[in-house]
Amino acid sequence: MPTQVFVGPGGLASIQDGVNAADEFGTVIVAPGVYNESVIINKTVQLHGAQYGVDARSRSTSPSQESIIMNNNASGIIQINADKVVIDGFTIQGNTLGPGMMTSSSFAGYWVFNNIIQNNVFGINLHYNGDVYTQVQQNFIRNNTQPGAASGNGIYSDQGAANIIISQNRLTGHDPVNAAGINFAAVTADSNLMITKNDLIQDSSIALTNTTNVKISENNLLDSNASAIFFGGGTNRTEIGHNEIQVNDNGIRVTNFFTGTVNTNIRTKFNDIQNNIVGLRVESGSYNATPSPLDATNN
């Protein structure tokens, strides 16, 4: 049977000690408290914080009831370097040198559920390499704007990612000018991304550059002071449907700003696009209609 390891009063002193002591496929159960450390995960384990299974978007617990991890580390407070790792029920905060969490581009199948990720340089440095889907769900990601590289991004990927579901998260307080709430910005193509049922409120964009096969659906994108959905160039096969897109500078903006290459095969249908400065903005030379015209019907 996989082990259960306990961290906190009556158990081990640190989360890293718990990871080191756990067997492959074991569970590390972390009591409420403040843990001043970085955690490097190099085996398949589950980390359960005090709020394991409790939706981070709506929970109203006091800090004394949270498992809070804090540290300054350029590589991330939590660093995941193994397949199928679960991080559920923590508060991850205060990294002045880097992200709250980093997932390696060499492994696959991460589950990041029910975490508050706040006040870091940026929130999650999300990378992935494998066929099993990574899932990022029911997290509250806010105010990750400490000065530094990639500052102001909520979820940021620049080293390649595929087979990822980002669903039912709440993001707020990120940089609308220089960064994005959810930002896929790899030089090589990110593919098979589903971004659904998230709330980006007074936040920044969902930004796509060099992506293939992306579905953006049923999100609430409100008051971003930027483009709610931004194309930086080089995207192919993007579906945008059934989103609420309101009170932004641009509802949807299509550019080739970052790559100089055109976007292709965009469909944006059945969205509620209201009270933005511009609803749909397609810049000259940014879209190639030869494979398929940009379909913006039934909005």
pLDDT digits (tens, 9 = 90+) for 109-130: 999 999 999 999 999 999 987 8
Q: Is a pLDDT exceeding 70 seen at residue 1?
A: no
Place of tokens 């590589």: 75
CATH topology of domain 4-149: Pectate Lyase C-like (2.160.20)
pLDDT at 187 (0 to 100):
79
Q: CB within 8 A of 51, min separation 6: which ones?
A: 59, 61, 65, 66, 67, 89, 90, 114
Which residue, among 281, 149, 288, has the nearest Cα to 228 in the 3D structure?
281
β 33-36/67-70 pair status: parallel
| Res 86: pLDDT | 98
The mean pLDDT of 160-166, rounded to a whole number, is 94
Percentage of residues of the chain with pLDDT beyond 90: 94
Q: Is 70 exceeded by the pLDDT of residue 151?
A: yes
Cα angle 90-91-96, degrees, rounded to a multiple of 5: 135
Mean pLDDT score of the chain: 96
Residue 13 has a pLDDT of 97
Q: Residue 19's closest CA among 57, 38, 1, 45?
A: 45
Instruction: Give residue-wise pLDDT tens across range 211-232.
Output: 999 999 999 999 998 999 999 9
What is residue 186's predicted lDDT score, i.e. its pLDDT?
A: 80
Percentage of the residues of the chain whose pLDDT score is greater than 70:
100
The average pLDDT across 233-245 equals 98
- Cα 111 from Cα 36, distance rounded (Å): 23
pLDDT tens sequence across 71-102? 999 999 999 999 999 999 999 999 999 999 99
Q: What is the pLDDT of residues 172-213, one digit of tens each?
A: 999 999 999 999 998 777 899 999 999 999 999 999 999 999
pLDDT digits (tens, 9 = 90+) for 133-147: 999 999 999 999 999
